[in-house]
């Protein structure tokens, strides 16, 4: 098994249980030196898509899953990694029990644009379901977004 670090809608253990039933959540932690942002607005249905970029003073809350090979291939389809929209990259996750090397998805598009309010709400709810700190969830809910799909 390999470790997968989820930062967007896949933070939600129930959602991941449906998408990847053989890959349980192991722990939560932080991607230190990365920030959550949005990009690829032209690829989203109603706004920009979540991604992460390196940033030395930021951090992103993640859920770490023990990913089975079968579920990893299925998740690539869910995340459009099989089409080239997202690509896998290795990251180092800081957890309460030490550092874990995991893979995650990074959008292969330019940073910029606003996510839809509904998409941002799903990400915030997923973070809450993964027991992200309340201030992190509050910051997610307060981010600029599109109020309607334009």
Rounded CA separation 70/58 (Å): 33
Active site residue 79: yes
Rounded CA separation 108/123 (Å): 19
Overall size of the chain counted in residues? 150
CA distances from 35 to 38, 46, 52, 56, 147 (A): 10, 22, 5, 9, 23
Annotated binding residue 110: no
69: CB partners within 8 A, 6+ apart = none
Over the Cα atoms of the chain, what is R_g?
Answer: 14
Instruction: Enter the tokens of residue 61.
Output: 């809350």
Q: Which of 41, 79, 111, 128 is catalytic?
A: 79
Rounded CA separation 137/143 (Å): 10
Known binding residues for substrate: 119
Q: Which residues are marked as active site?
A: 79
Known binding residues: 119
């Amino acid at each position: 098994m390999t470790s997968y670090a989820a930062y967007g809608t896949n933070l939600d253990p129930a959602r991941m249980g449906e998408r990847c039933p053989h890959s349980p959540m192991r722990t939560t932690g932080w991607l230190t030196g990365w920030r959550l942002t949005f990009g690829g607005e032209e690829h989203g249905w109603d706004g920009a898509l979540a991604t992460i970029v390196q940033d030395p003073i930021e951090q992103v809350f993640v859920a770490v899953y023990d990913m089975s090979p079968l579920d990893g291939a299925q998740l690539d389809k869910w995340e459009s990694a099989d089409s080239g929209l997202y690509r896998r990259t290795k990251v180092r996750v800081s957890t309460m029990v030490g550092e874990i090397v995991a893979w995650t998805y990074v959008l292969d598009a330019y940073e910029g644009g606003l996510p839809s309010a509904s998409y941002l709400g799903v990400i915030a709810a997923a973070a809450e379901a993964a027991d992200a700190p309340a201030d992190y969830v509050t910051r997610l809910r307060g981010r600029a977004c599109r109020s309607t799909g334009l």
